[in-house]
Amino acid sequence: MAANILLVEDEPGIQELLKLNLGQAGHTVTATDDAEGALQYLKTTLPDVILLDWMLPGMSGIDLCRRLRADKRYQPVPIIMLTARGEEQDRVTGLDTGADDYLTKPFSPRELVSRIRAVLRRRAPQMTEEPVETAGLELDPVSHRVTGNGRLLELGPTEFRLLHFFMTHPERVFARSQLLDQVWGDDVFVEERTVDVYIRRLRLALEASGHNDLVQTVRGAGYRFSARR
């Protein structure tokens, strides 16, 4: 489960150590020294996880966390707070601002790697490699195979990611802009009507096994994946 991680940490030593260890664990790390740098980066890129130091020069990690949680675009991104402060009250404050987890320095890189895996599993099930199944439609992230009632279906890479996202988030309506953020991620300048193009391709691919009806249009709202009518 390789993730794109944004690390916001002003101490060069810790930054280097985490970059090295997370890189070895298969993750891609982008590091920035302060909240301003993080906000700049987030304008164009949505990471899978944000590691956020509490004490930063300028805007604090806590304030940045609060700000990200108040913005719909960043709400799905898991945040792990890193801090030198270990008081129980700090921990509560950290989690109250909407952080998903909280690690007190010094922590072992191994502990961090396992916490990252845990938040990803919780917040972003499409990042895991578990096979998913709905009404005879099966998707296996490891072999990159999709079958409908046992029959192999041909999907392009974007349709595959779109279907994986839908299957791990059933029964919820997603606006085109949300799908762009979640499935296209980095490329936020893609136009919203691109989503419609790929939805059409996905439905076409699913037609072979009659699963195209699972991808439903919700008028005025977006799209939903559902086995119900």
Per CB under 5 A, residues contacting Ca ion are: 10, 53, 55
**What whole-number distance in Å separates Cα of residue 14 and Cα of residue 84?**
12
- Which tokens go with 15? 């930054």
Adjacent-strand bridge partners of 48: none
Least separation, in Å, of the C-beta of 54 and Ca ion?
Answer: 7
Of 120, 203, 197, 192, nearest to 166 by C-alpha is 203
Q: By C-beta, is 61 or 222 nearer to Ca ion?
A: 61
Least separation, in Å, of the C-beta of 44 and Ca ion?
Answer: 25
Least separation, in Å, of the C-beta of 97 and Ca ion?
Answer: 16
**What whole-number distance in Å separates Cα of residue 127 and Cα of residue 136?**
22
CA angle centred on 13, ends 113 and 78, rounded to 5°: 35
Instruction: Give the distance from CA 152 to its chain's centroid.
Output: 27
Judge whether 157 and 183 are in contact, CB under 8 Å.
Answer: no
Q: By C-beta, is 68 or 146 nearer to Ca ion?
A: 68
Q: By C-beta, is 10 or 159 nearer to Ca ion?
A: 10
Least separation, in Å, of the C-beta of 207 and Ca ion?
Answer: 54
Adjacent-strand bridge partners of 137: 134, 148
Q: By C-beta, is 10 or 181 nearer to Ca ion?
A: 10
Instruction: Please say whether the dihedral angle defined by the alpha carbons of residues 122, 123, 125 and 128, taken in this order, is positive or negative.
Output: negative
Q: Compute and round to an integer the Cα radius of gyration of the chain.
A: 19
Q: By C-beta, is 55 or 208 nearer to Ca ion?
A: 55
Judge whether 80 and 101 are in contact, CB under 8 Å.
Answer: yes
Q: By C-beta, is 7 or 68 nearer to Ca ion?
A: 7
Least separation, in Å, of the C-beta of 99 and Ca ion?
Answer: 15
Least separation, in Å, of the C-beta of 55 and Ca ion?
Answer: 4
Closest residue to Ca ion in the complex (CB):
55
